[in-house]
A and B are shown apart, each in its own frame.
Chain A
Amino acid sequence: MNDTTKVVRTTYRDALREALREAMRRDGRVFLMGEDVGRYGGSYAVSKGLLEEFGEERIRDTPLSESAFVGAGIGAALNGMLPIVEVMTCNFSLLALDQIVNNAATIRHMSGGQFSIPLVIRMATGAGRQLAAQHSHSFEGWYAHIPGIRIVTPATLEDARGMLWTALMDPDPVIMFENALLYNLEGELAAGAGAVDIDRAAVRRAGADLTLVTYGGSLGKTSRAADLLAEQGVSAEVVDLRTLRPLDMPTVLGSLAKTHRMVIVDEGWKSGSLAAEIMARAMEEAFFELDAPVARVCSAEVPIPYPKHLEDAAIPQVATIVDAALRTVSRHV
């Protein structure tokens, strides 16, 4: 075995921390700011230990002023820095929506291309922890509506380790959505893992009968669904979008051209969702490839409730993905 094949056991959280540490070491223009990123160690302990290593100038605790510190990230990026802003959760990012939508996303185009904003905003997303309606949103699909920003959704250890640096080197603002259920995800990662592309979707599992398209926190559920489908003789291909804007439709449609059937798994609400966009594109760009209507497994159209049984019923689950897949493979046009 040589070095490139050595693996280490790690978690999604630790992989994110290693990515932050590497970025801080590689470039003096990089700094991290956000609520409780320093002394507290990060709400999800992602930045734990970084304050001790890099000091409070570069690991900056902020007041609970989302608009001010997200805007400050944009300003610092415009003025030569490579800021990483952690917004504790996407739920709180609504307080910074003006800065993200009206400034980060517009300034390059509106100024005639004069300015770059090499900013990365990280935020936790998703339901599933019985945190009730105000702490369980999945807004990545919403943000993906907006031209001028890039949306990435690391779902694997490799992407947790590798997307940050690429996003920082991108001259445009990137928002990285980290599904909060993934932080404890454990597995093996190549010892030399580093930057990865943020342009392409990835086929996580090859299959022949239908394509399951998903991203972020739903990748694990979708993969387990594919396992169960295999037991029933259905071969599912799993496509992890990885980047929600811009969408890598060639990879999605390439898979569809092979399987001719598709189910999209998206934790956003169904109406106006990213899943709706992918369906629309499949219809526009690959209508004659379809052997069955495209199906969706999304969140129910409700504020996410607190009790476990209701929360479970509100968001995509392995069983609902399997059901949707079986219905799709049994349908014909």
Chain B
Amino acid sequence: MLDRALALKLLGDMLRVRRFEEKCAELYSAGKIRGFLHLYIGEEAVAAGAMRALEPDDAILATYREHGHALMRGIPAGAVMAEMYGKVEGCSRGRGGSMHIFDARARFYGGSAIVGGGLPLAIGFALADKLMGRPRVTACFFGEGAVAEGEFHESLNLASLWKVPALFLCENNLYAMGTALQRSEANTDLCEKARSYKVAARSVDGMDVLAALDATEQAVAEVRAGGGPQFIEFRTYRFRAHSMFDPELYRSKAEVEQWKKRCPIATFVERLQSEGMLDDARLAAMETEVGDEIAAAVAFAEAGSWEPVEQLTRDVYTARAS
């Protein structure tokens, strides 16, 4: 039986991320956000489900498509938006921008923009917890493109060999930038690759937030119980272009439209409505609340300040007392 309070929270999480990113796209066109901007639109169910299965003490490593993960992990929307603006009030002092969101309090360790680059770090995080006897899990998000990198193979082997409490969360949106999975992988069964390193693996519908939550809860329980690393493939799809510079020559509009019918938010709204858990008034109230939060985040970012150029080299190294 679906818990109504939980269901509404999950819906709220997804709505926040969707509307936040729609605003980001608008702000990008307006020149407020620069550099690369990779939107998660279409994939929200993955982070919404996965993040809710994790504890505050767990560590999160994410990719350059991480705005949603950051918001759902509890980093204030204003700090994330200010980061996108490059303002000093941003969660990384504006130094990282869209691709490098960090927040020590949320135990959110980036925001890595080298595909596969976060996986080796995850081994170290998890190893540290294991050596110190802390019952924590390290959750590492990455896309299916990372599976082609050596880091994926080195890291899954090492995680399994050392039985570290790491959770590998593969967001398979079928395209590494513009290269379809079947054009880059001789074997497109990602779980089989994980299992070849004796890492327990499961594949789940990444457009279904409840399925994402359920799969992650099960995997987290196994990891926390000391069973070693786990791998989850979330089958999902990005509705928007890879970044703001992508003319989408590599996939058909029909394919995108087909996937949009499986929009994780629209389908979940329908389900909750059909089960009598959500009415139009409630949905409108949620939209209003999200809209207000985003408006406040934008205002916060707009009111923010630029880091003084004199601080350019601050924190390249730790300041020494000497």
Q: A-B pairs with CB below 8 Å: how many?
A: 148
Q: How far is A245 from B16 in the complex, measured between Cα atoms in Å?
A: 45
Within the complex, what minimum Cβ distance (angstroms) separates B239 from chain A? 29
Q: Assuming the A-B contacts A57-B131, A103-B112, are A75 and B316 also in contact, with contact meaning beta carbons closer than 8 angstroms in the complex?
A: no
Asked if B314 is at the interface (CB within 8 A of a chain A CB), the reply is yes
B318 x A63 contact (CB < 8 A): no
Q: How far is A80 from B127 in the complex, measured between Cα atoms in Å?
A: 11
Instruction: Find the B residue at minimum CB distance from A99.
Output: B120
* Contact partners of A109 in chain B: CB under 8 A: 95, 315-316
Taken residue by residue from 199 to 214, chain A's Cβ proximity to chain B (1 for < 8 Å, 0 otherwise) reads as 1000000000000000
B124 x A77 contact (CB < 8 A): yes
Instruction: Find the B residue at minimum CB distance from A147.
Output: B316
Contact of A114 among B102, B120, B151, B162 (CB under 8 A): B102
A111 x B100 contact (CB < 8 A): yes
Within the complex, what minimum Cβ distance (angstroms) separates A105 from chain B? 9
Of the stretches A64-72, A130-138, A156-164, the one at the interface is A64-72
B117 x A112 contact (CB < 8 A): no
Asked if A240 is at the interface (CB within 8 A of a chain B CB), the reply is no
Within the complex, what minimum Cβ distance (angstroms) separates B322 from chain A? 8
Asked if A171 is at the interface (CB within 8 A of a chain B CB), the reply is yes
Asked if B296 is at the interface (CB within 8 A of a chain A CB), the reply is no
Q: Assuming the A-B contacts A57-B131, A67-B154, A112-B90, are A72 and B120 also in contact, with contact meaning beta carbons closer than 8 angstroms in the complex?
A: yes
* Contact partners of A31 in chain B: CB under 8 A: 131
Q: How far is A249 from B20 in the complex, measured between Cα atoms in Å?
A: 49
Asked if A150 is at the interface (CB within 8 A of a chain B CB), the reply is yes
Q: How far is A109 from B121 in the complex, measured between Cα atoms in Å?
A: 17
Within the complex, what minimum Cβ distance (angstroms) separates A267 from chain B? 26
Q: How far is A169 from B319 in the complex, measured between Cα atoms in Å?
A: 13
Q: How far is A70 from B158 in the complex, measured between Cα atoms in Å?
A: 12
Contact of A68 among B94, B103, B151, B316 (CB under 8 A): B151
Q: How far is A62 from B314 in the complex, measured between Cα atoms in Å?
A: 35
B102 x A68 contact (CB < 8 A): no
B122 x A110 contact (CB < 8 A): no
A67 x B315 contact (CB < 8 A): no
Q: How far is A112 from B97 in the complex, measured between Cα atoms in Å?
A: 11
Size class of B's contact patch?
A: 35 or more
A70 x B120 contact (CB < 8 A): yes
Asked if A45 is at the interface (CB within 8 A of a chain B CB), the reply is no
List which A199-255 residues lie within 8 A (CB) of chain B: 199, 246
Asked if B110 is at the interface (CB within 8 A of a chain A CB), the reply is yes
A99 x B117 contact (CB < 8 A): yes
Within the complex, what minimum Cβ distance (angstroms) separates A205 from chain B? 26
Q: How far is A148 from B316 in the complex, measured between Cα atoms in Å?
A: 5
* Contact partners of A111 in chain B: CB under 8 A: 92-93, 95-96, 100, 102, 104, 110
Asked if A324 is at the interface (CB within 8 A of a chain B CB), the reply is no
Instruction: Find the A residue at minimum CB distance from B132.
Output: A80
Q: Assuming the A-B contacts A76-B128, A79-B124, are A63 and B161 also in contact, with contact meaning beta carbons closer than 8 angstroms in the complex?
A: yes
Q: How far is A83 from B132 in the complex, measured between Cα atoms in Å?
A: 13
Asked if A36 is at the interface (CB within 8 A of a chain B CB), the reply is no
Asked if B281 is at the interface (CB within 8 A of a chain A CB), the reply is no
Within the complex, what minimum Cβ distance (angstroms) separates A118 from chain B? 9
Q: How far is A75 from B139 in the complex, measured between Cα atoms in Å?
A: 12
List which A271-316 residues lie within 8 A (CB) of chain B: none
Within the complex, what minimum Cβ distance (angstroms) separates B158 from chain A? 5
Q: Assuming the A-B contacts A71-B121, A109-B315, A114-B92, are A98 and B114 also in contact, with contact meaning beta carbons closer than 8 angstroms in the complex?
A: yes
Q: How far is A174 from B303 in the complex, measured between Cα atoms in Å?
A: 39
Q: How far is A240 from B317 in the complex, measured between Cα atoms in Å?
A: 23
Q: Assuming the A-B contacts A111-B95, A111-B96, are A75 and B122 also in contact, with contact meaning beta carbons closer than 8 angstroms in the complex?
A: yes
Asked if A326 is at the interface (CB within 8 A of a chain B CB), the reply is no
Asked if B231 is at the interface (CB within 8 A of a chain A CB), the reply is no
Within the complex, what minimum Cβ distance (angstroms) separates A133 from chain B? 23
B125 x A79 contact (CB < 8 A): yes
Asked if B268 is at the interface (CB within 8 A of a chain A CB), the reply is no
B102 x A79 contact (CB < 8 A): no
Asked if B123 is at the interface (CB within 8 A of a chain A CB), the reply is yes
B103 x A114 contact (CB < 8 A): yes
Asked if A115 is at the interface (CB within 8 A of a chain B CB), the reply is yes
Q: How far is A102 from B110 in the complex, measured between Cα atoms in Å?
A: 12
Taken residue by residue from 304 to 319, chain B's Cβ proximity to chain A (1 for < 8 Å, 0 otherwise) reads as 0000000000111110
A103 x B121 contact (CB < 8 A): yes
**A29, A62, A111: most-surrounded residue (chain B CB, <10 A):** A111
Q: How far is A167 from B154 in the complex, measured between Cα atoms in Å?
A: 27
* Contact partners of B102 in chain A: CB under 8 A: 107, 110-112, 114-115
Asked if A181 is at the interface (CB within 8 A of a chain B CB), the reply is no
* Contact partners of A199 in chain B: CB under 8 A: 322
Asked if B129 is at the interface (CB within 8 A of a chain A CB), the reply is yes
Asked if B150 is at the interface (CB within 8 A of a chain A CB), the reply is yes
Give 27 A-B contacts (CB < 8 Å), ordered by A residue. A63-B157, A63-B158, A68-B123, A68-B151, A68-B154, A71-B155, A72-B124, A75-B120, A75-B124, A76-B128, A78-B121, A78-B125, A79-B59, A80-B128, A81-B131, A98-B151, A99-B117, A99-B120, A103-B117, A103-B121, A107-B109, A108-B318, A110-B96, A111-B95, A111-B100, A111-B110, A115-B102
Q: Kindly list 7 other residue pairs between chains A and B, CB separation below 8 angstroms, not including A75-B127, A75-B138.
A: A68-B158, A71-B120, A75-B125, A76-B127, A81-B128, A111-B100, A150-B317
Question: Which of B's residues lie within 8 Å of A, judged by CB?
Answer: 59, 90-96, 100, 102-104, 109-110, 112, 114, 117, 119-129, 131-132, 138, 150-151, 154-155, 157-158, 161-162, 314-318, 322
Closest 6 CB pairs of A and B: A71-B120, A75-B124, A112-B93, A113-B315, A68-B154, A111-B102
